[in-house]
């Protein structure tokens, strides 16, 4: 088979291994606090950073497991209604893969232990924040010449077994894809888009 045919076969028949949730152990570590105490503070810092560095670059990881024969996404839950994917802002000049691994370690890694073997896979989506405001879109609106943030989502293949450490102020929950689908009211537009973004994959339940 030619290299071109191999790439086409790989692209058209993308297979992802999912391991059962019971394979993983979840410990607790010190709280992980946001850099900004309020939403206005967050957007003010974004304005300040934009003047110095330009568009903010963020990355988030989509970590999958299976339970009851169904794919689940690992989400961080703060309080009763706020959910987010692990990840965050990249430092100026930092690469996407190295930055995401750093952020995953900061969020879910065990202190004084080597990081799990995160394997950064496919890009699942690109989201853009056109202004210093909450709304984000999976495209750059036509009237926007310089978006304020570019967020990139990556599928992360997690090892067959691992131990994670969850910050005390968060819960780590496994949300089934059917619960996320078309549920922007409960999970926001980015997380609720994941089932559509991942429907091109073939999942193998290990």
Residue 10 has pLDDT above 70, yes or no: no
- Core vs surface per residue 157-180: b (16+ CB within 10 A) or e: bbeeebebbbbeebebebbebeeb
Rounded Cα distance, 21 and 75, in Å: 13
The structure tokens 């991942």 sit at 198
CATH architecture classification, 24-205: Alpha-Beta Complex (3.90)
Rounded Cα distance, 11 and 115, in Å: 29
Lowest mean pLDDT among 2-11, 27-36, 105-114, 168-177: 2-11
Domains of the chain, residue spans: 24-205
> How confident is the prediction for the chain on average, in pLDDT?
89
Give the mean pLDDT of 110-126.
85
Which pLDDT tens digit goes with each residue over 83-103?
Answer: 999 999 999 999 999 999 999
pTM: 0.89
138 or 111, greater pLDDT: 138
The pLDDT confidence band at residue 110, using thresholds 50, 70 and 90, is: confident
């Amino acid at each position: 088979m030619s290299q071109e045919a191999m790439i086409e076969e790989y692209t058209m028949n993308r297979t992802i291994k999912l391991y059962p949730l019971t394979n993983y152990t979840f410990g607790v570590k010190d709280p992980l606090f946001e850099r900004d105490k309020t939403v206005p503070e967050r957007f003010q810092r974004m304005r300040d950073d934009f003047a110095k560095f330009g568009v903010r670059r963020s990355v988030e990881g989509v970590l999958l497991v299976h339970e009851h024969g169904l794919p689940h996404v690992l989400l961080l839950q703060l309080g009763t209604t706020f959910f987010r994917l692990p990840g965050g802002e990249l430092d100026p000049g930092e690469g996407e893969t190295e930055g995401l691994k750093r952020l995953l370690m900061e969020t879910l890694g065990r202190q004084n232990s080597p990081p799990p073997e995160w394997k950064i896979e496919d890009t699942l989506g690109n989201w853009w924040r056109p202004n210093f405001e909450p709304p984000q879109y999976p495209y750059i609106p036509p009237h926007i010449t310089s978006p304020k943030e570019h967020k990139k989502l990556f599928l992360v293949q997690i090892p067959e077994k691992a131990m994670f450490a969850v910050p005390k102020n968060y819960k780590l929950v496994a949300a089934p894809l059917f619960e996320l689908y078309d549920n922007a009211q409960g999970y926001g537009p980015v997380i609720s888009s994941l089932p559509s973004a991942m429907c091109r994959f073939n999942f193998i339940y290990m």
